[in-house]
Amino acid sequence: MSSENVSTRGTILHLQRLSTEDGPGIRTTVFFKGCTLRCEWCHNPESLSRHRQVQWLANRCIGCASCVAACEVHSLTLTVEGIVRDRGLCVTCGRCVEACPSGAMEMLGKEVSAAELTAELLKDRAYFEKSGGGVTLSGGEPTLQPAFCAALMDALHAEGVHVALDTCGLSAPGVFSELAAKADLILFDLKLMNPDEHKRWTGADNSRILRNLEIARDFVSRSGGAKRLWIRTPLIPGATTAPDNLAGISAYLGASFDGSVERWELCAFNNLCRDKYERLGMRWTFAETELLTAQQLTQMGEWARSGGFDPSRTFVTGAAKAS
């Protein structure tokens, strides 16, 4: 690939090494910053904004006010309740992060080039080769940074690394086609079949998402087995778990995708992200929602297997509420 491409820069949140939930084998998942949807249940609220953000960790703060002194735009105030931020003033210069002696100020988001990130990812090559794994590009929404995403996929392929694209499916069809064509595995989120419900819970209807899913299917069908397509549906109580939604997705997949979708995963709701919302000062609709029970997950699996898609390729994943 050209040196111009590998120098393409993008913003990522972090890497998750030794992942076994984002495709086959042992993988390193790259979380891109920025998303095209606004799902009310989002488990990565720090990845919604395309831009870098500063977060304050109350449990690390020793109240020294070094950050307040370092901030030239007076975005920070030390109060009896801790640091209060005027986010509208912050220009994400990072001075408060550098000044903080206890790591209580943290920068979310890091700009890297495709070459720099590839070099970092290749440190895990032995895991990929031994396990049949690779790298998964996730987020956020990787297709929101198309040039960086494409450059990274090219650079990883040049090193023989398997690349999965984990996508919410909402991007311009031209952009989606270019990136889907490069992926070895597409992990495609399909949340709700009803377009009004989709808009209500995620901020956008699903017309473009379904169109892009057809594009993904066509690439996979034409690849002669070289490419794979997995569908993932989050099981969010009260939002996606209705029987008609799960059976409806199953019917849709069964009617048009049965030969090309290798696996449909129904991913159980978890509330591990609750603290992230608190740290970012954001409200989470599902903060008080309990995990689904094993019985509920079994029932949802049955609804999903009743709609027409191959039951042997339909899986419920994730933890149930302890009884």
Q: End-to-end CA distance of the chain, in Å?
A: 53
Does 65 engage in binding with ligand SF4 (CB under 6 A)?
yes
CB proximity list for 285: less than 8 A, separation 6 or greater:
40, 41
Specify the residue, 62 or 172, whose C-beta has the smaller distance to ligand SF4.
62
Query: Can you tell me which residue has the tokens 């297997």?
Result: 305
Pick the binder of ligand SF4 from 61, 108, 151, 190 (CB under 6 A).
Answer: 61
For residue 31 the two structure tokens come to 């979380």
**DSSP label at residue 313:** G
Which stretch, 19-27, 93-101, 236-244, 308-316, contacts ligand SF4 (CB under 6 A)? 93-101
Q: Cβ of residue 49: shortest distance to ligand SF4, in angstroms? A: 14
| 274-291 core/surface letters (b: 16 or more CB in 10 A; e: else) | eebbebbeeebebeebeb
Specify the residue, 96 or 192, whose C-beta has the smaller distance to ligand SF4.
96
Does 54 engage in binding with ligand SF4 (CB under 6 A)?
yes
Pick the binder of ligand SF4 from 42, 83, 246, 304 (CB under 6 A).
Answer: 83
**Residue 71: burial class (beta carbons within 10 Å; 0-12, 13-18, 19+):** buried
Distances (CA, A) of 177 to 11, 180, 216, 257: 22, 5, 8, 17
Contacts with ligand SF4 in 103-162 (CB under 6 A)? 104-105
Does 90 engage in binding with ligand SF4 (CB under 6 A)?
yes
Pick the binder of ligand SF4 from 17, 18, 94, 174 (CB under 6 A).
Answer: 94
- 77 and 96 Cβ atoms separated by less than 8 Å: no
- 171 and 147 Cβ atoms separated by less than 8 Å: no
Query: Can you tell me which residue has the tokens 């409200």?
Result: 283
Q: Cβ of residue 75: shortest distance to ligand SF4, in angstroms? A: 4
Does 67 engage in binding with ligand SF4 (CB under 6 A)?
yes
Cis status, amide bond into 301, omega within 30 of 0: no
Binding residue count for ligand SF4, defined by CB under 6 A: 28
Pick the binder of ligand SF4 from 37, 42, 76, 231 (CB under 6 A).
Answer: 76
Three-state secondary-structure class, residue 14: strand
Q: Cβ of residue 96: shortest distance to ligand SF4, in angstroms? A: 3
Which stretch, 89-97, 163-171, 182-190, 313-321, contacts ligand SF4 (CB under 6 A)? 89-97
- Distance CA(70)–CA(295), nearest Å, equals 54
Specify the residue, 65 or 122, whose C-beta has the smaller distance to ligand SF4.
65
Contacts with ligand SF4 in 179-218 (CB under 6 A)? none
Q: Which of 205, 206, 232, 228 is nearest to 217 (CA)?
A: 228
Pick the binder of ligand SF4 from 29, 66, 118, 314 (CB under 6 A).
Answer: 66
Three-state secondary-structure class, residue 149: helix
Pick the binder of ligand SF4 from 36, 75, 118, 143 (CB under 6 A).
Answer: 75
Three-state secondary-structure class, residue 301: helix
Q: Cβ of residue 279: shortest distance to ligand SF4, in angstroms? A: 12
Which stretch, 29-37, 64-72, 224-232, 251-259, contacts ligand SF4 (CB under 6 A)? 64-72
Query: Can you tell me which residue has the tokens 């001075």?
Result: 95
Residues that bind ligand SF4 (CB under 6 A): 54, 56, 61-67, 70-71, 73, 75-76, 78, 83, 90-96, 99-100, 102, 104-105
